[in-house]
Chains A and B, each alone.
Chain A
């Protein structure tokens, strides 16, 4: 990190840009009075947002754009929203636009495309295209004002960059980075959330390479720009909405294979890992795609980043994800181009208008329905059949609800999606892939419960069905020995016990079966996943106790991980268990998450060992993995003295956040996770 980047980083840590921010009250009354269409409102709002922005250019910076308007203006009046939001409305977001094409051609050329198309457009197409043209003009106008401001404060480099972009295509690495910043900034202003960065090391590589080869930049200068670019993701991220601060979906994907299947990890991928390692900030959230042929050095570089305690990188295994997506109907080339949405959901840049987090399936709820009638089964097989039926009922219900969803239009991001301009149609009308994904929450708790029932109720018969039902109903009141037996002495998912793992395979596979053949209301299908998002708390809260010894109201494990109360045998057993199910079938996304005490990463040899452990997970057919370096003592102290830990970062579920900014329930969950010690 050079002195300039250090200074810019300090500005962010001190929130020096905060002083330029204002709240501007706007109402949607005018839109209502004029009875404007959805797309017209989206356009007017973006134009108004950009117009309300006041350019701020700092003397040290090369990549500008800082949000000065804190709030997002409303699209509808409250009364209108009452009606419009029924039954179920979703905003475009959690997707990965094609930034590269626009960065390469420039907005003038994009505008011209729209103008050409407009000549032959029908009425509906005309509305969309003219909205997009007005959006582009608003973006160009803000860029013009930014250029003037740069000149006014004497920042010639910024002024020069803005002379070229975004009107024309980028020629250099700096122009491309600034162009990206403008596009990304605009998406947030349009109201999209969780705007993924995608395969940055692929689409930016040519600019980086050309500048290095042509001597436009030295490697150090290019790296300095890259680090500054990374900082830009942290400038406004406190304004981005999410379930908690930090949940903002600024996910970057590195490595993997290209559309032809050739290895794609390059020098820029490495530099991104290094930049993240040095900057120690929550954004961008780093992902690495790996496979059985990935060199050990990539795992090693990834582990160096894990050591920093940011909760990333997250690894995705191409050997499982790509064939898994192909089985779901994605073309091989598109599948090879996958990235992740906000957290870990696998999506296709540019071609996917997918909603991979539309709802969440609860494994423990399905089991609980059957526990309520446990005394009616005469065999374990009969119990399983009933469970399968309950799973189907729950899936049917979730699908029925999800199929009432409608999307709000988003013309500007449509410019960067699929062939929206060619079609003259907003992205909300659809893209090549329009699939929905359901998280699969609490798999471990459900597996543990089923194993308890199998072993104690049906095999050993040392717990009667009635006793089990009563214990669950009363949260084990007056039954400490039964609780102990079920919670601590009965095999768990994560113990590397093949019999228990078999149950996990069964339930995971059944989840996929339940969604097979289901069509959504946008022409897509349903994908089953292993993620939890925030549902590990939301669903855990109202849950009864389980036959696995899970207490009433305890949260489920986050994502794809053993239950919090499990006395783990260790990371090898966990990996053994969690690679047992056929993960290709439940490929919506959701990583095995493991916490390691920070002392594990103390020396070079140990870092290599962690790297080998991740590689072993990949070789065994794991789909996705996230490792955290944590120290429980530090976290406990941070709860007591938040003022001393303003920059302490933890992984929450699919994203990293500042620990002290999280609600206590989220903090407590992080603290309660199994921490593997040296």
Chain B
């Protein structure tokens, strides 16, 4: 079946073990105010326009009859500099899997594989399941917000060799405010991972002023106390300073204002180490 993706990146060094490619599925139920992949939010195709290099020739504004351009307001097939692109492409799971499988030597020789990220990969469950099954010969990893029905989460996780689960905030009220959704479902799915025996990694995006306070991080550590199954480690992802650029390209408003930089030195890594959990700051 078909699904919508907005990118495939090869050799993504921070998306799991070994040499990997990452497939980005388009569409996400969360609206994290700091999101650095705004083109992954909506399920619909949208324009991505690089401003740098634009000569203002106006060719992209002239009407065209390309089916993919209809409804976007610009023509994406005329820019002499190639600056106007469409994020969002319908692809067959089989074609996508075949493309990945053609590169299996790279993955296998290095202990790597394919990572499926987004957007939110679990937001296109049927497509995701087919894709994961077709990718079975490879090491599979999903990178998810965990915001999905338990059944979907479990089915996807069982089709992977490794799961990356984001924990963005331990407090439900704050979570609702900064991501638009409750964290209850996410924590339920964390509980599933803890008892599933599946290797998994907890990832924490460090957003200045939102969750990078040591007290908040300590609370997250608290969520990992006790039996936690095959947790491999906790990874911290410092705030991506290039996030605003993509909003400009998509013409979307970017509401989040970074109050300060991350203070990585104040990260209470020892809280995790005391629990016997390895950490890594990316």
- Residues on A lying within 8 angstroms of B by beta carbon are 476, 480-481, 483-485, 487-489, 496, 565, 567, 569-573, 575-576, 600, 602-603, 605-606, 609-610, 612-613, 615-616, 619-620, 676, 678
Contacts and interface: CB of A to CB of B under 8 A. Distances in A.
Contacts of B21: 570, 572
Contact of B80 (A484, A496, A606): A484
A548 to B, nearest CB: 13
B281 to A, nearest CB: 9
Interface of B: 8-14, 18-19, 21, 59, 77-80, 82, 102-103, 105-106, 109-110, 112, 280, 282
A678 B12 contact: yes
Contact of B13 (A485, A576, A609, A619): A609
A627 to B, nearest CB: 12
Given A484-B80, A600-B13, A609-B19, 15 more contacts: A484-B78, A488-B82, A567-B82, A569-B8, A572-B19, A575-B106, A609-B13, A612-B19, A616-B19, A616-B105, A616-B106, A616-B110, A619-B105, A619-B109, A620-B105
Contacts of A489: 77
A567 B109 CA distance: 26
Among the interface residues A575, A600, A606, A612, which one has the most CB atoms of the partner chain B within 10 A?
Answer: A612
Contact of B103 (A572, A603, A676): A572
B145 to A, nearest CB: 20
A571 B80 contact: no
Nearest to B59: A480
Nearest to B76: A484
A506 to B, nearest CB: 21
B13 A565 contact: no
A676 B282 CA distance: 18
Nearest to A607: B13
B44 to A, nearest CB: 21
B9 A570 contact: yes
Given A612-B110, A616-B109, A572 B78 contact: no
B102 A485 contact: no
24 contacts: A480-B78, A487-B82, A488-B82, A496-B102, A496-B103, A570-B10, A572-B10, A572-B19, A572-B103, A573-B103, A575-B106, A600-B13, A609-B11, A609-B13, A609-B18, A612-B109, A612-B110, A613-B11, A613-B106, A613-B110, A615-B109, A615-B110, A616-B19, A616-B109
A610 B19 CA distance: 8
A484 B106 CA distance: 32
Contacts of A605: 13
A571 B109 CA distance: 15
Contacts of B82: 484, 487-488, 565, 567
A488 B282 CA distance: 33
Contacts of A620: 105
A676 B80 CA distance: 22
Contacts of B110: 609, 612-613, 615-616
A622 to B, nearest CB: 12
Contact of A572 (B14, B106, B280): B106
Contacts of B77: 481, 484-485, 489
A610 B12 CA distance: 11
Given A609-B19, A609-B110, A616-B105, A483 B80 contact: yes
A292 to B, nearest CB: 11
Contacts of A609: 11, 13, 18-19, 110, 112
Contacts of B102: 496, 576
Nearest to A568: B10
A567 to B, nearest CB: 7
A13 B198 CA distance: 54
B14 A480 contact: no
A496 B282 CA distance: 30
Given A480-B59, A565-B82, A616-B109, A571 B103 contact: no
A488 B83 CA distance: 10
* Residue from B9, B13, B105, B106 having most chain A Cβ neighbours under 10 A: B13
Nearest to A615: B109
Contacts of B12: 678
